[in-house]
A and B are shown apart, each in its own frame.
Chain A
Amino acid sequence: MTAALVLVFFVAPNDANQGFSQRIFYFHVSIAFTAYACFAGGAWKALVHLWKRDPLADLESYVAVHQGLIFGSLVLITGSIWAKISWGHWWLWSEDQLVLFLVLFLFYAAYFMLRFSVDPGPQRANLSAVYALFGVVLIPVSFLAIRIAKGFIHPVVFTRHGPNFGGWILVAYCVAQAAMLVLAYALYRVELAGKRLDERLRGLREVLA
């Protein structure tokens, strides 16, 4: 993460069009892909749970979706700040990419409402898994929104011919992306360990009671 920050602020050059404000892109885009990865991971674990009826997979799915929501909120915050500099508005409802990401974010926010409205047990795990699996459809829609949108206000950085940048900008982005994925995975493992410990403790307390 330190290497990514050094590259972003001291090595990567200013963008010809956007100037200094383009430096938000390094973290904004890498956080967005990390959020997509978390939601996709959550959906995969949900599928594993439905397939093998493994309670651990349900817990892993829940933690991944939780991580995705945290990174998703960071995408919305950094994106809004960038929009304020570049467009003069914190939010534009006419932008498909923004609205679709918000829909994806709210969809997974509702996942928690569903999960905590049902008593713990197989029924809650199954309902949560099905919901998490449905949400994965929104990921490619959200990602492709700027490519199918008519108004190209949101910059397109990844095209069919590869990234729209090179040199130190590409290096800085790749390092930032790798750092963000590693950070998300580390946080995922820590939160998962905590949740598993919590469940085991609850079981032990019930035995001792």
Chain B
Amino acid sequence: MTTAEKYVTAAYCAVFAMLLLYVVIIALKLTRLEREVDELAERTEAGPVEEPRERTLVG
């Protein structure tokens, strides 16, 4: 492998490594968002949490 070939390979590898890193970061972010959507859906399906009623003295 000549020096020029090594540099050209390095340039293309750098491009793909950076794009891959970007895609991985976006994928991780989307996974986190999906998890948060699931959590919110579970909370919504469970319904509103009832607040305890205040005790009033009768008589």
Contacts and interface: CB of A to CB of B under 8 A. Distances in A.
Given A20-B2, A194-B26, A201-B36, A77 B18 contact: yes
Given A70-B18, A194-B29, A85 B40 contact: no
Nearest to B43: A208
Max chain A C-beta neighbours (<10 A), residue from B7, B23, B30: B7
Given A204-B40, A208-B40, A84 B18 contact: no
Interface residues of B, number: 24
A110 to B, nearest CB: 21
Contact residues of B: prevailing secondary structure = helix
Contact of B7 (A21, A27, A204): A21
Interface in A93-121: none
A28 B11 contact: yes
Given A19-B4, A20-B8, A84-B7, A194 B14 contact: no
Nearest to A31: B15
A44 interface: no
B18 A78 contact: no
Interface residues of A, number: 29
Contact residues of A: prevailing secondary structure = helix
A72 to B, nearest CB: 11
A70 B15 CA distance: 10
A88 to B, nearest CB: 11
Interface in A61-91: 70, 73-74, 77-78, 81-82, 84-85
Interface of B: 2-5, 7-8, 10-12, 14-15, 18-19, 22-23, 26, 29-30, 33, 36-37, 40, 43-44
Interface of A: 5, 19-21, 23-24, 27-28, 31, 70, 73-74, 77-78, 81-82, 84-85, 183, 187, 190-191, 194, 197-198, 201, 204-205, 208
